[in-house]
């Protein structure tokens, strides 16, 4: 017996989808504007997870250029059928709805390569796919109701997919608007067949405080679906905003090899008030069936801190859950850039990177020279040792990023003729920049500087020092201004390095000698 500690995946891993193939479980989550997109995790026992790749990992697969933060890749669904992995997902461009849409990709190895997208002629988000035991395949998803009876009413549709042509065929059926009248955002639908009955699992209430999981069943895949009288079958909204986990919803079911049932779902852990800087994280909940309905977290009725997985002790030990501590080397799968591959502006060198500085800044919805990792722990030190012969107006720094419009930066900046190096801390809030602090460091332009973000709950200290010096505090930022409760959007925070010439032509290479991510116990 082994215990899975929740969250299964700490940090911004929302909208989890899970499937099992033999003894292996595979899980994928949303990534929005980050690249590579849609990380793929594998586990033998539901307890220990290792990342094995990404679904979207090469240019030309999808075009994210210009897509603003919290657009991009929304909730995916992963399934396996007849030796092939199928993934359906939505690319959302909030500024230009002629771009993107719902697509399907396949792979024989979930670590990749994945196919190019096949676009599906259907609107809305949260697509899912169900392989019936008669060989027929059914797509489903959610969209704003065509004839709404209430505000933010959505409708879940189902339609057949021809697995050969990968096109939708036959009539469409609208099967669900949520379990409750006036409920908003019935979404994240997934169909299953259990003992000959079709089940529709769906979220409702919106992916924030009122999030919930409901279930309905039918004798035919196209309905009519009858909701469980106990709906919603899981929510934390009645626990209030002081609950350790809020916003539980967006679940997917999986049956283990021993016949037991489990659900993955998203939730948030507020701290320092009602703020969840780590974003929407992935949790695990046990499921049993009673009277032909699933019961989530039986006897507890909420997302448990720990989940006993009876079969976990019997299989090979997996890789430690969550993330590592220490130097994040260039081959670490946690690294992400924005919208396009990091190879376009960076090269691995030793334990770090050479960043080819770009004119674009973190305020532009493009691909600035940025490389970062998710903030997965509320107490963490992130240190980057950087070195660059900066030109006038050029910056190399460390950022805590929510979006183009909301982030903080601590950076070394260059100016003609100066002997000292200037370190500046800036908060960009709602697109408006405020300088929070400044200091000067002795030493020549090309000597290394260590920049640190030291997060202790909602206090984010930004520090700087020459490599062999005690670092000095440049500013302390209140993290409550940075999470999605404060800024809007769907994301948790990232912490990363960047280099920008702030619009000027440049050929500067910024060297990141090492980047450390050290959670504080």
Measured between its terminal Cα atoms, the distance across the chain in Å is 25
If binding is defined by CB under 6 A, does position 126 make contact with ligand 6LW?
yes
| Closest listed residue to residue 360, CA positions, set 336, 338, 386 | 338
For residue 111, the minimal CB distance to ligand 6LW (Å) is 24
CB of 215 or CB of 371, closer to ligand 6LW: 215
For residue 207, the minimal CB distance to ligand 6LW (Å) is 4
| Closest listed residue to residue 302, CA positions, set 390, 394, 236 | 236
Q: 183: which 2 tokens?
A: 């409920």
* Rounded Cα distance, 490 and 94, in Å: 13
Among candidate residues 15, 33, 57, 394, the one labeled active-site is 15
DSSP 8-state assignment for residue 109:
S
CB of 16 or CB of 496, closer to ligand 6LW: 16
| Closest listed residue to residue 13, CA positions, set 203, 324, 281 | 281
Q: Which residues pair with 143 in a beta bridge?
A: 155
Taking the CA atoms of residue 434, residue 439, residue 444 and residue 448 in that order, the dihedral angle to the nearest 10 degrees is -80
* Rounded Cα distance, 85 and 63, in Å: 22
| Closest listed residue to residue 379, CA positions, set 70, 73, 10 | 10
Query: Does residue 486 sit in helix, strand or coil?
Result: helix
Any catalytic annotation for residue 516?
no
If binding is defined by CB under 6 A, does position 30 make contact with ligand 6LW?
yes
Judging by DSSP bridges, how do beta strands 125-131 and 118-120 pair with one another? unpaired
CB of 89 or CB of 412, closer to ligand 6LW: 89
If binding is defined by CB under 6 A, does position 47 make contact with ligand 6LW?
no
Query: Does residue 505 sit in helix, strand or coil?
Result: coil
Residue carrying structure tokens 């859950």: 321
If binding is defined by CB under 6 A, does position 337 make contact with ligand 6LW?
no
CB of 142 or CB of 454, closer to ligand 6LW: 142
The residue within the footprint of ligand 6LW, chosen from 7, 10, 11, 14 (CB under 6 A), is 14
Q: Which residues pair with 314 in a beta bridge?
A: none
For residue 273, the minimal CB distance to ligand 6LW (Å) is 22
CB of 206 or CB of 301, closer to ligand 6LW: 206
For residue 119, the minimal CB distance to ligand 6LW (Å) is 18
Beta strands in 110-166 (DSSP E): 118-120, 125-131, 137-144, 154-162
* Rounded Cα distance, 367 and 387, in Å: 21
For residue 62, the minimal CB distance to ligand 6LW (Å) is 16
Any catalytic annotation for residue 45?
no
If binding is defined by CB under 6 A, does position 323 make contact with ligand 6LW?
no
Vertex 362 angle, CA 357 and 364, to 5°: 105
CB of 185 or CB of 498, closer to ligand 6LW: 185
CB of 104 or CB of 424, closer to ligand 6LW: 104
Residues 181-200 touching ligand 6LW, rule: CB under 6 A, are: 185, 187-188
The residue within the footprint of ligand 6LW, chosen from 17, 29, 207, 367 (CB under 6 A), is 207
* Rounded Cα distance, 356 and 358, in Å: 6
CB of 322 or CB of 488, closer to ligand 6LW: 488
Total number of residues that touch ligand 6LW (CB under 6 A): 14
For residue 493, the minimal CB distance to ligand 6LW (Å) is 16
The residue within the footprint of ligand 6LW, chosen from 42, 54, 190, 250 (CB under 6 A), is 250
The residue within the footprint of ligand 6LW, chosen from 26, 49, 64, 74 (CB under 6 A), is 74
For residue 520, the minimal CB distance to ligand 6LW (Å) is 29
The residue within the footprint of ligand 6LW, chosen from 66, 113, 163, 206 (CB under 6 A), is 206
Q: Is 5 exposed, middle or buried (0-12, 13-18, 19+ CB in 10 A)?
A: middle
Query: Whats the size of the chain, residue-wise?
Result: 521
Among candidate residues 57, 126, 155, 187, the one labeled active-site is 187
If binding is defined by CB under 6 A, does position 427 make contact with ligand 6LW?
no
If binding is defined by CB under 6 A, does position 15 make contact with ligand 6LW?
yes
Q: How far is CA 36 from CA 10, 85, 115, 139, 225, in A?
A: 18, 18, 14, 25, 38
* Rounded Cα distance, 363 and 368, in Å: 9
For residue 361, the minimal CB distance to ligand 6LW (Å) is 26
Q: Which residues are catalytic?
A: 15, 187
Interface residues with ligand 6LW (CB under 6 A) are 14-15, 30, 74-75, 125-126, 185, 187-188, 206-207, 250, 490
């Amino acid at each position: 017996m082994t215990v899975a500690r929740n969250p299964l995946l700490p940090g911004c891993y929302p909208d989890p989808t899970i499937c099992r193939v033999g003894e292996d479980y595979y899980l994928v989550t949303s990534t929005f504007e980050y690249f590579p997109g849609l990380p793929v995790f594998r586990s033998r026992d539901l307890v220990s997870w290792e990342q094995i790749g990404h679904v979207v990992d090469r240019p030309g697969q999808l075009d994210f250029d210009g897509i603003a933060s919290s657009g991009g890749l929304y909730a995916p669904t992963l399934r396996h059928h007849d030796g092939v992995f199928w993934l359906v997902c939505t690319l959302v461009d909030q500024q230009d709805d002629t771009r993107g849409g719902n697509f399907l990709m396949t792979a024989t190895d979930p670590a990749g390569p994945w196919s190019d997208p096949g676009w599906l002629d259907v609107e809305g988000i949260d697509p899912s796919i169900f392989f019936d035991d008669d060989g027929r395949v059914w797509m489903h998803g959610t969209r704003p109701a065509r004839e709404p009876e209430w505000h933010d009413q959505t409708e879940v549709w189902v339609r057949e997919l021809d697995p050969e042509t990968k096109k939708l065929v036959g009539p469409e059926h609208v099967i669900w608007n949520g379990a409750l009248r006036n409920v908003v955002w019935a979404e994240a639908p997934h169909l299953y067949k259990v003992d000959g009955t079709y089940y529709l699992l769906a979220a409702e209430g919106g992916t924030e405080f009122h999030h919930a999981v409901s279930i309905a069943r039918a004798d035919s895949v196209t309905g009519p679906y009858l909701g469980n009288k106990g709906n919603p079958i899981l929510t934390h909204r009645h626990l209030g905003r002081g609950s350790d986990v809020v916003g539980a919803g967006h679940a997917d079911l999986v049956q283990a090899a021993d016949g037991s049932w489990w659900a993955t779902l998203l939730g948030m852990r507020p701290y320092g008030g009602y703020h969840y800087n780590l974003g929407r994280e992935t949790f695990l909940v046990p499921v049993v069936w009673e009277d032909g309905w699933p019961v989530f977290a039986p006897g507890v009725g909420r997302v448990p801190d720990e989940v006993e997985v009876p079969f976990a002790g019997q299989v090979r030990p997996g890789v430690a859950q969550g993330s590592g501590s220490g130097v994040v080397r260039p081959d670490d799968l946690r690294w992400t850039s924005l919208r396009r591959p990091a190879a376009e502006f960076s090269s691995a060198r030793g334990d770090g990177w050479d960043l080819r500085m770009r004119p674009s800044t973190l305020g532009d919805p493009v691909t600035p020279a940025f490389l970062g990792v998710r903030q997965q722990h509320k107490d963490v030190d992130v240190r980057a040792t950087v070195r660059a012969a900066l030109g006038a107006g050029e910056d190399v720094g460390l950022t805590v990023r929510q979006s183009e419009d909301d982030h903080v930066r601590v950076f070394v900046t260059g100016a003609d003729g100066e002997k000292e190096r200037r370190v500046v801390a800036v908060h960009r809030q709602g697109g408006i920049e405020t300088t929070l602090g400044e200091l000067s460091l002795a030493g020549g332009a090309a000597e290394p500087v260590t920049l640190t973000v030291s997060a202790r709950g909602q206090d984010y200290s930004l520090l700087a020092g020459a490599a062999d010096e005690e670092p000095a505090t440049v500013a302390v930022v209140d993290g409550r201004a940075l999470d999605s409760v404060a800024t809007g959007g769907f994301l948790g925070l990232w912490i990363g390095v960047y280099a920008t010439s702030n619009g000027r032509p440049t050929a500067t290479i910024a060297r990141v000698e090492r980047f450390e991510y050290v959670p504080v116990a």
